[in-house]
Amino acid sequence: MKTYTYRKSQSLFKKSTKLIPCGIYGHFSPAPNIPAVDYPFFSARAKGSHFWDVDGNEFIDYMCAYGPMVLGYNHQKVDAAALKQLKLGNCVTCAPSVMVELAEYMVALINGMEWAYFAKNGGDVTNLAIMVARTATGRKKIVMVGGGYHGVTPWMQGAGHYGVVDEDVENIIVVDWNDYGAFEKVVAEHPGEIAGFISTPYHHPAFADNELPADNYWQKVETLCRKEGIVSIIDDVRCGFRLDMRGSHMYFGFQPDLVCFCKAMGNGYPISALMGTAALKNEAAKVFYTGSYWFSAVPMAAALATLKELKKINGPKKMQDTGKKLLDGMVRIAQSYGYDLRVTGISSMPYLRITDDESMMLHQEWCAECTKRGAYFTSHHNWFISAAHTEKDVKKTLNIVEEAFKVLKKKYG
């Protein structure tokens, strides 16, 4: 099977390092992709579940732009809705009417939520959620789960990160995932001081197995939050619309006070949303929070089309079914070559790890071997399945997976 090379991509990266910090910054940086020489750095075009790099290599994309692609790149209905709105207007001095239409649709769609507030990035709305919780309670402290990711503002990154000072995190309390006793203890130790508890619906950290909530975990957290007047916040930025169209809290059977959406919400168009209960609507109205492009109409029209299409095709089920078929096949192939491929999380956004080498270097090498044969995998982050992935994609991916295990078997025995 042919393996890819990346001459143009690597040349462009060298040029980029002279112009842009890190060459490519943030989560698209080559740094986490080990060995980076086996990965493309720059894309040229994309369609459906595939993208092509600047060297002309074609990839079946299992990162989906780290989540925003959910219906497929250049989706006809979404792009048509966006183009129609663009011709009418995008950034205008007054708010666009489509904003009200989108809010109305989402309030009807998401269980228990009575209002919507739109922004651009997931971090915009997780940060807003904290501000609303503090406004509503008059308290300072926030409890979050260790290893949880909620964006890049200083309080989210934590102590020890560049640009973060101790004062940024002095009111953040960290507890372990699934440890209700630890949360209960923290609440008892800080009576009347905790404004909010923020967490993803299930634990999906980087570089670690993903964990579903323990039995009754969320129900107990919800009960304690209501008893103590703590605002419960769900960061549904990654999971949103890949587990349940009504919100991932419905998948796990509980009711939060605030829910944050982004990524799959707009199929690649820049938009996010904070949604909340009726009791918090006036508190959200008190917070001044905005941005230069937060009222741009094109992403709102794209989001409306995306959500309608996902609901029409039952997108979460489609993605979970496709993911299960792919993952079951991969595990069987790994076993046939004597490897243990562990899969955790929900099948629409799984985390994979070859357990035979705790250093993860073997897993990183396997992901690289798959990527340079046309199935784009990362070794440190959960993957994403889209509604655009096809039976043909799955079949081809399984062939690539087998070829990569053959390489490992031959090399390491």
Residue-wise pLDDT tens digits, 39-78:
999 999 999 999 999 999 999 999 999 999 999 999 999 9
Instruction: Tell me: pLDDT of 34 over 70.
Output: no
Q: Are residues 32 and 156 in the same domain?
A: no
Task: Give tens-digit pLDDT for 148-184.
Answer: 999 999 999 988 999 999 999 999 999 999 999 999 9
Nearest to 240 by CA among 217, 259, 268: 259
Same domain assignment for residues 170 and 301? yes
**What would the mean pLDDT of 198-216 be, rounded to a whole number?**
97
The pTM assigned to this predicted structure is 0.97
Q: Which two tokens stand for residue 84?
A: 């129609």
Indicate whether 219 belongs to any domain: yes
pLDDT category, 1, cuts 50, 70, 90? confident
Structure-block tokens of residue 174: 């960290």
| Mean pLDDT value of segment 388-411 | 98
The per-residue pLDDT for 31 is 74
Regarding predicted confidence, which is higher, 156 or 333? 333
Domain boundary among 287, 313, 339: 313
E strands, 262-323, where?
A: 272-276
Q: What is the pLDDT of residue 184?
A: 98
CB neighbour list of residue 259: distance below 8 Å, 6 or more residues apart: 110, 113, 233, 234, 236, 240, 247, 249, 274, 275, 276
To the nearest whole number, what is the mean pLDDT of the chain? 97
Q: CATH number for the domain including 277?
A: 3.40.640.10
Asked if the structure places residue 68 within a domain, the reply is: no
What angle is formed at CA 16 by the lines to CA 12 and CA 22, rounded to 5 degrees?
125
Count the neighbouring beta carbons within 10 Å of the beta carbon of residue 383.
Answer: 24
Peptide bond preceding 35: is omega within 30 degrees of 0, i.e. cis? yes
| Mean pLDDT calculated for residue range 118-134 | 98
Most distant pair of Cα atoms in the chain: their distance: 65
Q: How many domains does the chain have?
A: 2
Residue 85 covered by a domain: yes
> Where residue 39 sits, what CATH number does that domain have?
3.90.1150.10
Last residue of a domain, one of 267, 290, 313: 313
Q: Are residues 347 and 292 in the same domain?
A: no
* In-domain check, residue 238: yes
With a pLDDT cut of 70, the percent of the chain lying above it is 99
Confidence check: pLDDT of 259 > 90:
yes
Residues 159 and 266 both lie in one domain: yes
For residues 256 and 370, membership in a common domain is answered with no
Same domain, 280 and 347: no
Q: What are 59's two structure tokens?
A: 């990839």
Same domain, 376 and 303: no
For residues 224-245, give the mean pLDDT. 98
In a domain, 356, yes or no: yes
Tell me the C-alpha distance between 193 and 165, whole Å: 22
pLDDT band at residue 36, thresholds of 50, 70 and 90? confident
Check whether residue 327 and residue 274 sit in a common domain: no
Banded pLDDT at 11 (limits 50, 70, 90)? very high
Residue 35 banded pLDDT, cuts 50, 70, 90: confident
Calpha distance 102→120 (Å, rounded): 14
Model pLDDT, residue 33? 65
Helix (H, G, I), strand (E, B) or coil at 325: helix
Identify whether the C-beta of residue 203 lies closer than 8 Å to the C-beta of residue 146.
Answer: no
Domain end point (choices 279, 313, 347): 313
Domain identity same for 131 and 228? yes
pLDDT of 281 above 90: yes
Q: Are residues 358 and 291 in the same domain?
A: no
- Same domain for 86 and 226: yes
**270 with 319, same domain?**
no
Sort residue 160 into left (φ over 0), alpha (ψ -120 to 50) or beta.
left
Q: Phi and psi at residue 259, in whole multiples of 5°?
A: -135, 135
Number of helices (H), then strands (E), in the chain: 14, 13
Average pLDDT over residues 121-147: 98
Please check whether residue 20 lies inside any domain of the structure: yes
Whether 241 is in a domain gets the answer: yes
Instruction: Name the residue range of residue 373's domain.
Output: 7-61+315-412
**Reported confidence tier of residue 32, pLDDT bands at 50, 70, 90:** low
Nearest 5 degrees, angle CA 385-CA 387-CA 390?
A: 85
Cβ-Cβ contacts under 8 Å for 299 (sequence gap 6 or more): 82, 120, 266, 269, 270, 271
For residue 70, is it within any domain?
Answer: no
| Of 331, 316, 338, residue with least CA distance to 385 | 316
